[in-house]
Structure 1
Amino acid sequence: TAAAPAKRADARGQTPDGAAAALPAQLIAPKTDPRFQLPQVQRRKLSNGLEVLLVEHHELPVVSMNLLIKSGAAADQNDRAGLASLTAALLDEGTNTRSALDISNQLAAIGAQLGSGSGRDSSSVTLRTLERQIDKALEIYADVIVNPAFPKDELERARSSRLAQLSQLRDNADAVSDLVFASLLYGRKHPYGQPAIGDTASVSAVGDADLRRFYETYYRPNNAALIVVGDVTAASLMPKLERAFANWKSAPVPAVNLSTPPARERAAIYIVDKPGAAQSVISIGQIGVERATPDFFPLLVMNNILGGGFVSRVNLNLREDKSYTYGARTSFDFRRAAGPFTASAGVQTAVTKESVSEFLKELRGIRGEMPVSDRELEIAKQAIIRGYPRGFETPDQIAGRLSDVVLYGLPDDYFNNYIARVRAVIKDDITRVANRYLDPSRAAILIVGDRTVIEPGLRSLEGVGQTVTLLDAEGRDAGSSGGAGGRQ
């Protein structure tokens, strides 16, 4: 006779009739957690005030450097959004003595790579070089950092490219959602509410004097740290660094106002109309928590259970069970100040209302309506713990991870204790942080999709459908019905 079909368990390890599903053997008796020990972080300081963090890594004759500037897009002026991004992008496009082509050719001749970029809270300049070429590579690297020229022709080229990018992004529902959601949570005048890459008006307004002003204000050795990982020692490296950065001078650096806006009083729905869209891009969330929070590890595990992995609750629900989407997820964007928490998915237009309803159900569930099971907790811990060591395999990876130590003031042994901190999280921690940091009754609910199809269903959602606000693709009020627009 044919065997009875196996009963499929949900994310909490329950089959449809309520019976507990059999646990996979590897979860019943998990192997010992991997041991991880990062080599000692050696701290030094140059005479100009630049902090240096060195990790010796002698497996390959390679050296990675990451200069972290402790200012990023959050330091942009309100009418100059994108300035930090453009400043970083143009650093290696010419110095007082080298053209962009000179820099590229000289790096290629020694097999070195240099890059620059910026995020919300920081900017960075990276270098990867063979140890035997460190003198020449460091000469070029320091020249880019200390003597950028910001040539006008390179600015115009970068501006043209950025404006074309912005034009393309207006047709990308995911990009529109990211932009509008940030302005809903923080308001366009908050450092976290304006677009990090700028908008058409701000990018068009940036001049070479703006780049120079931003650079001279924030690119200072006392506002930076140099992370070095590779086949070097402090004794050999420090004299080289002193010579290379001798002309880079400290100066007062203004603080950035990162105050947290007040929480919204109630949940509300916002729609950006995209006529004819085959799917709706949903973003649901609120202002979350800063990276330095003592609740980081409970939040990390909780988010993995909720929406941080393929077998998370929201993905098993909306993708595997309901077939509404190719993927649903949740995330905390941990920053210097409280960053956003977001639950998101691109779903079929016809099931937009149902998808929002399921997201809200899962947010309520993790707070206690659907308690976390032992199985969920163990799966989440193993997913985090067993994937953790592979983030430190190369000098580049180690240098990148040490950026968190610099930017958020973490202890030097933080990564060595990471696995134990994850393992220590218990179910009560999950419930506690979910109730403290997640409140679906005050969430912003943004949908980028075909308004004529999705609005009637969204209005019928109990508790949130009374207020539907229409926004344009930049988050500005486009006409409301039953509510006010987003934060300004």
Structure 2
Amino acid sequence: MKKHVLLSTGIVLLFGLSACDSNTAPQQLSTKAKLELPVGMTKINSVQKADDEIVIPFTQYELANGLTVVLHSDKSDPLAHVDITYHVGSGREEPGKSGFAHFFEHMMFQGSENVADEQHFGLITESGGTLNGSTNTDRTNYYETVPSNQLERMLWLEADRMGFFLDAVTVEKFENQRETVKNERGQNYDNRPYGLLRERVNEALFPQGHPYSWLTIGYIEDLNRADLNDLKKFFLRWYGPNNATLTIGGDFDEQQTLEWVNKYFGGIPRGPEVVDPEYVDVVLPEDRYISMQDNVSLPLMYMAFPTVYANHPDEAPLDVLMSILGSGKTSLLYKNMVKNGKAVQAQAGHSCGELSCQFSLLALPTPNSSLAELETIARTSLVEFESRGGANEDDLARVKAGIVSGMVYGLESVSGKVSQLAAYQTYRQNPNAIGDDIARYQNVSKEDVMRVYQQYIKNKHAVIMSIVPKGQADKIIKPDTWQRLERTFTQEQDESALVLRPGKSDFDRSVVPPSGPNPSIKVPDIYQVSTTNKIAILGAVNDEVPTTTIHLRIPAGQTREDLSQLGLAALTAAMMGEGTEQNSAEDLSNELQKLGSSVDFRAGNKYTTLRIRTLTKNLEPTLAIALEKLTQPKFTQDDFSRLQKQQIEGLKTAKKNASSLAAEAFNKLAFGHNNSFAYSSGGTIETVEKLNLDDVKAFYKANYGPAKSELLVVSNLSELSMLSALQNLNSWQGNTSAEPAIKAFPALAAGTLYFIDKPEAAQSEIRIGKRALNYDATGEYYRVDLMNYNLGGAFNSRINLNLREDKGYTYGARSFFYGDDIYGFYKAQAGVRSDTTADSIVQFRKEISEFAANGMTDVELQFMKNAIGQRDAREYETPGQKLSFLSEIMEYQLTRSFVDEQNQILSKISKEELNALAKKHLKLDEMITVVVGDKAAIMESLQPLFKNIVEIDEEGKPL
């Protein structure tokens, strides 16, 4: 289940940014009182933590031009996060101009009057930061996370594109980003299985001309129709400071930050006044059945009911209803569809925006079920909800526990807290709305849930969509009762206020602000012990949030599989998530949800990992459930048969994904069909079909033991307290198999093109590469990663600037080295527009060969050293990041000082050494090429580029 809401992607995340800020001390209040506000700046509000109140502390200001400024202090890590949110998304677009809000987001990264083309990416990357932007129906935001000494530069960058953008726009930039957006649509929608689901449903659900009737990505024909004048009008209409919220979080001096904000943003004039969009009730006069044929392996059934709008009083009880119907193993859809083998997947959703929400039921059938049968079961499940009396106490407890745990988990990153403050201000004009959110969910009653069911769902009309494999039109639920409308474009907005608004400055904006002193970066302290049954434990204390995250790595991954049993590790891991000898899977899921905890198993190359996440106060019962799952799996035939079918259908679906096909084909060619890790973790359809329950039991018995297992933990508990909590692990018994031998890798047929035909593909997936070095933290492997950074490792690398920014062939292109203790490879890759496949390969070759021959420049060398040298400031912020650090140490038997050794190598490495590595490792005549694309459309253009072309099937075998 995923709930798409205005403020986040789930009920849990909706409340993920709250609670106590341990860095807000009483003495800070007196400091804040002494702040001298710049002229024209007004303080609006200030909220601090009081007792156990759940709140994100902040101070809110407003500039004379209407810009809202929200500051959140968090000095736990030496970083700053900047978010500027404009209250405009695709919901403000005119009919016929769909996709423009998102297109404009791309344009805002193309430079401004005082920031050169690509300089925005360059400055932030070089400073060790990360950046991006996003657009949804109702807002567009731009954000950066950087070391704290770079904050002034971020404010200068954001202010320059807010106030000094239009004069830097060129036709060339406009056309380039138009092509980039088209590639994004091709990659994420047109070329992806089920990618057009929401577009078709929204067209049928909303009235013609309603701005939610099209997707944020827009239609290709609308993008083709747009011109430079449209872009300028859009900027002038929506990108004024009075339609924006600037939110800053992290380690900063508040007085200095306010002065910088006023300096860089104060001279930007107000834009036209903006009013909130008006909600119009959406009502369907009848059920609308629609369908489409797609390049999928499994049909899909989707039902969508219009409901309310985001922040409506009935949104919360509708979310609870969603959870009861289709969230996890406690849900009615799981019981009535998945548990009994009728569906591979079934879930409910309640996606919300400012103008409307939709309540959805989704299911993918197993081969012995039909879409029509699933629709009947879905409707029967609604009746069952009512007949059983609606919501029960467990239902409410699960949802409310998820809210509380989500609030605490959200404290783990400053970017999350900043995003939440920005969203609350944008949609509710109050950054402190989290208390209202908590209350509206905690106050939901059983009567509320039944009421909204009867008001919005029972006997109400819906859009019912069937997506079926191509050539299988007979599998749709019913013949279409609604046809796509011919879109008309008559609406025009008032443009009388759209006049140029030149900004004012009393300083030279062309001067890039200097960086402040480098912040002090501290690698996390760690402790290392072992249990009496020989589980190695590596831990770190994270006292910023009261949470515990544990990864128990068991040497029971793909490498333990026989080639005839590929997929067995993944299937066993899935079985570990089912019932135990004591409790059913549903009962355990219910208890975990009421604790706000998660326990799951996941198989990888070498390990199956038991992952545990919980509020520390609930650690004991959560660990008890995890240990029960680990040591007492029930392994029933019914569970096995159901999960086996699901895994097979997942493999079939993956074969429809060009990116997955390309990745697996490359791995098999590089590392051999006789090494299990070269295959998808799910195995192959043929091998999984032959597995049985005894195979799972035997794999568990042979591999699920404590010896050679490793436990990584990040918690606010001390070492002694954590070890005490883990003591029950000493009772775990079991076997561990011997480390398997890796088979010899095959000879590469260098220079060969391996081609997989994907008829009518809108894009081609390209992989160019070879085997390379295994992992070495401070050896040549680390150095080749430094070497590749300017070639293909950064957004503004040579490869990406060429294929994306200059040519507009792709949404993104990169190259990288990857290695572990088993294998390593170098790969350059991209998904490109189909008609550019041949030239994309030419451009890849050109960049790689030129870099190998001539190496990097002095400027590139310094850029790489600056970028990598400063990014440690944001490497250890969250428990997840700390776990990654611990994992690297444990996996490769490192000490925490390896980071210092890497920094010494970085500071001393010369251009000559790196260029020598480029010559050594970037030899095109040692590489193979894999392409997945439409043979009929592109093969003729590829033939001149290769002396040897081998067509292969979806399993990577020659045809």
TM range (shorter): 0.7 to 0.9
- Displacement after TM superposition at 1:316 (Å): 0.7
Say whether residues 1:318 and 2:803 are aligned partners. Answer: yes
Could you tell me how far 1:312 is from its partner in structure 2? 0.8
Name the counterpart of 2:838. 353
Q: Which residue of structure 2 lines up, in the alignment, with residue 159 of structure 1? A: 644
CA contact (8 A) 1:285 1:445 kept: yes
Aligned amino acid, residue 43 of structure 1: Q
Partner of 1:171: 656
1:63/1:130 contact within 8 Å kept: yes
Deviation at 1:304, TM superposition (A): 2.1
- Deviation at 1:136? 1.4
- Distance in 1, matches of 2:865 and 2:603, equals 31
Deviation of the 1:423 alpha carbon: 3.7
Distance, in Å, in 2 between the alignment partners of 1:424 and 1:146 is 50
Q: Quick one: structure 1 residues 6 and 396, their matched pair in 2 at CA, closer, same or farther if it must change by over 3 Å?
A: closer
Paired letter, 2:787? M
- Correspondence for 1:261: 745
Letter matched to residue 540 of structure 2? V
8 Å CA contact 1:49–1:250 kept in 2: the answer is: no
2:706 equivalent among 198, 202, 221: 221
- Structure 1 residue identity aligned to 2:539: L
Cα distance between partner residues in 1 of 2:596 and 2:720: 24
Shift of residue 89, structure 1, vs aligned partner: 2.5
| Counterpart check, 1:284 vs 2:768 | yes
Partner of 1:40: 525
2:794 aligns with: 309
Post-superposition Cα deviations, 1:215-236, rounded to whole Å, max 9, x if no partner, equal: 2222221221111211212322
Quote the offset at 1:475 in angstroms: 0.8
Amino acid at match of 1:466: K
Instruction: Report the Cα offset of residue 137 of structure 1.
Output: 1.6
Q: Secondary structure at the match of 1:392?
A: coil
Q: Does 1:458 align with 2:942?
A: yes
**2:758 equivalent to 1:274:** yes
| 1:108 to 2:593 alignment | yes
Do structure 1's residue 375 and structure 2's residue 859 form an aligned pair? Answer: yes
1:47-100 CA distance string (max 9 Å, x none): 111111121222222221111224422222102222222222222212221221
Letter in 1 for 2:579: G
- Over the matched positions of the two proteins, sequence identity in percent amounts to 28
Deviation (angstroms), 1:436: 3.1
2:606 to 103, 111, 121: 121
Name which structure has the greater RCO, CA cutoff 8 Å, separation 6+. Answer: 1
In 2, the alpha carbon distance for the partners of 1:30 and 1:263 equals: 50
Tell me which of 414, 426, 429 is aligned to 2:898. Answer: 414
With 295-304 and 39-48 compared, the bigger mean Cα shift is at: 295-304
Give the SS at the match of 2:875: helix
| 2:950 pairs with 1:469 | yes
Deviation at 1:207, TM superposition (A): 1.9
Q: Which amino acid aligns with 1:159?
A: Q
Show CA shifts across 1:150-173 (max 9, x none): 332222222222222222222221
Cα shift at 1:32: 5.0
3-state SS of paired residue (1:253): coil
Partners of 2:800 and 2:604 lie apart in 1 by 28
User: C-alpha distance in 2, partners of 1:238/1:39?
Assistant: 18
The C-alpha deviation readout for 1:190-246, integer Å capped at 9, x for no partner, is 13322222121122122222222222222221221111211212322323323x123
Displacement after TM superposition at 1:410 (Å): 2.2
State the alpha-carbon separation in 1 of the partners of residues 629 and 115 from structure 2: 62
Find the aligned partners of 1:158 and 1:137 in 2 and give their Cα distance: 24
Amino acid at match of 1:304: Y
* Distance in 1 between residues matched to 2:724 and 2:639, nearest whole Å: 34
Q: Which 5+ residue runs of structure 1 have no aligned equivalent?
A: 13-23, 479-488
The CA deviation at 1:311 is 0.3
Partner of 2:594: helix, strand, or coil?
Answer: helix
Partner SS for 2:793: coil
Amino acid at match of 1:476: K
**1:384 matched residue in structure 2:** 868
* Cα-to-partner distance string for 1:115-141 (whole Å, 9 max, x where unaligned): 221222322111122222222122112
For 1:74-223, list aligned pairs within 5 A: 74-223=559-708
Secondary structure of the corresponding residue to residue 663 of structure 2 = helix
In structure 2, C-alpha distance between the alignment counterparts of 1:124 and 1:336, rounded to whole Å: 18
- Offset at residue 9 of structure 1 (A): 8.6
Amino acid at match of 1:310: F
Q: Structure 2: how far apart are the matches of 1:398 and 1:468?
A: 45
Distance 1:354-1:68 versus aligned 2 partners, 3 A rule: same
For residues 391-434 of structure 1, the C-alpha deviation after alignment (integer angstroms, 9 at most, x for no partner) is: 32222331233112222222233345554444444322322332
Deviates more, 1:171-180 or 1:451-460: 451-460
Residue identity matched to 2:846: K
1:366 and 2:847 correspond: no
Equivalents in 2 of 1:300, 1:98: separation in Å?
48
> Deviation at 1:456?
2.6
Residue 543 of structure 2 corresponds to 58
Give, in whole Å, the separation in 1 of the partners of 2:862 and 2:747.
33
Q: Distance in 2 between matches of 1:155 and 1:422?
A: 51
- TM-score computed with the length of structure 2 as normaliser: 0.45
Tell me the distance in 2 between the aligned counterparts of 1:91 and 1:334.
29
Structure 1 pair 383–82 and aligned structure 2 pair: CA distance change class (3 A)? farther
Query: What are the Cα deviations for residues 375-396 of structure 1, in whole angstroms up to 9, with x where unaligned?
Result: 2223333433444333322223
**Which amino acid letter does the alignment assign opposite residue 394 of structure 1?**
T
| Aligned residue type for 1:214 | F
Which residue in 1 is equivalent to 2:264?
Answer: none
**SS in structure 1 of the partner of residue 559 of structure 2:** helix
Corresponding residue to 2:882 among 378, 382, 398: 398
Instruction: Please tell me the residue identity of whatever aligns with 1:471.
Output: I
Do the aligned residues in 2 keep the contact of 1:52 with 1:227 (CA within 8 Å)?
yes
Pick from 813, 816, 819: which aligns with 1:334? 819
* Contact 1:70–1:121 under 8 Å retained in 2: yes
Partner amino acid, structure 2, of 1:445: T
CA deviation map 1:340-393 (0-9, x unaligned): 3211111222222211111112221222x2320122223333433444333322
Q: Which residue of 1 aligns with 2:449?
A: none
Is the 1:289–1:339 contact (alpha carbons within 8 Å) kept by the matching residues of 2? yes
Aligned to 1:482: none
Separation in structure 2 between the aligned mates of residue 416 and residue 217 of structure 1, nearest angstrom: 40
1: CA distance, partners of 2:516 / 2:743: 44
Taking the aligned partners of 1:432 and 1:197, their CA distance within structure 2 comes to 40
Which one-letter code corresponds to 1:291 in the other structure?
Answer: Y
Calculate the TM-score normalised by the size of structure 1: 0.86
Query: Which residue number in structure 2 is paired with residue 447 of structure 1?
Result: 931
SS at match of 2:521: coil
1:485 is aligned to none
**Partner of residue 426 from structure 1, selected from 888, 910, 922:** 910
Q: Deviations over 1:226-282 (max 9, x none)?
A: 11211212322323323x123323645211223551552532111111222232211
